[in-house]
Amino acid sequence: MPNTTNAPLDGVKVLDLSRFIAGPLCAQILGDFGAEVVKVERPGGEDSRHHGPYHRDESIYMFLYHRNKYDASLDTRHPEALGILERLIEWADVVVENYRPGTIEKMGIGYARMKELNPDIILVSVSGFGQTGPDSRRALFDAISQASSGLMDMTGEPGGKPTLSGTYIADYTTGYQSAIGALTAILHRERTGEGQLVDVASFDTMFSALGIRLMSQLMLGQDMPRSGSRDLLTAPVNVYESADGPVYIQAGTASLFPKLCAVMDRPDLAGDPRFGTVEGRMTHQDFLEGEIGAWAAGRTTREIGEVLDAAGVPYAKVASVAEVAESPQIAARDMIVEAEHPELGTIRMPGNPVKMEKTPPTVRKAPPRAGEDNAYVYQEILGMSAQDLDRLRKSGAI
């Protein structure tokens, strides 16, 4: 880096002032497609660097969201910090930040000031509840987003407790949406010369993902209860215990249910008028799941998979993370990528899920340590001298 390929974002300069997941993920996506990304974090590293588990004293958490970035350390409370940040804003095309609303204004680099420094700047502000509204100044982490948006209430078994997702789904989704906003703003600026503020809230993102439950409430005034691993709208769909582990079978449509019945050698189920409609199968799904469960219990997941594949019935062995990481499909899709770190050796990371024929995402730089690229950022980008760098280091600014 800088990028020398014909990547779609070649020449786009991104200043990443964000922390944790959503903002850094947004900036990383831009970097994967060729943008030059400079991440600024405090000396010693942001909080995420001090979260385990660790690999040779480095948090592997940081390996997820910081590839393809240069890293510059800066104490934003230092007297010289504001001037340095302003010069980086003048350099940048896009700034990504996820401070609580109002914070960058207190720092002296709010959107109005950014536009004075760089009139066509694009500011991607990622926050919990957005830049407007009565909750805009509230603190938020992923779990708070899941709880406040309705996602947690709909997740879990019927009659059970509300349940968190097994991953940081709100942060990931917000990071993806922020990248979409940034890309759209870049395209708009290419056409018009205008920058703009991109305001993405985790709460909004999760609310927009509630799907049919939300529409049921908005259009029908009905609250759909938790459904566990069942499908909301069709049956039979659930997890069943095979002889050697759980398997998920989706046979809820009018075409799939008879195929499953044929595989089970149960034409009586396919011909029973009680099960001839979606509504009928939903009404009798306890019974149907009992029959399917008894059939699955006497077979291995491999045996089940072979006959369902042949019949065209969707299914999946419920895979562990360890199993899916070694999946031939993951390998074929380049969903595990590697980068060579100068001190840590080979680092394995999740690949970018967007596959493009002409301009695929690339990994050009391993996730950096805090301040690893101070010389490049401060001397080559900002034009400081070696003496300036040494003075800033001794003063504690970097």
Beta carbons within 8 Å of 381's beta carbon, 6+ residues apart: 38, 88, 91
H-only helix segments in 159-230: 169-192, 202-208, 212-215
Return the DSSP state at 73.
Answer: E
* Residue owning tokens 């840590």: 344
Residues 339, 365 contacting (CB under 8 angstroms): yes
Task: Please tell me which residue in 93, 171, 204, 373 is annotated as part of the active site.
Answer: 171
In 3D space, the residue among 353, 359, 357 whose CA is nearest the CA of residue 334 turns out to be 353
H-only helix segments in the chain: 22-32, 81-91, 103-107, 111-117, 142-149, 151-154, 169-192, 202-208, 212-215, 256-263, 267-271, 278-283, 285-297, 301-311, 321-325, 328-332, 374, 386-395
Retrieve residue 32's tokens. Answer: 């994967």
**Omega before 43 cis (within 30°)?**
no
Residue 171 annotated as catalytic: yes
Query: What is the rounded CA–CA span in Å between residue 155 and residue 225?
Result: 9
Residues labelled catalytic: 171
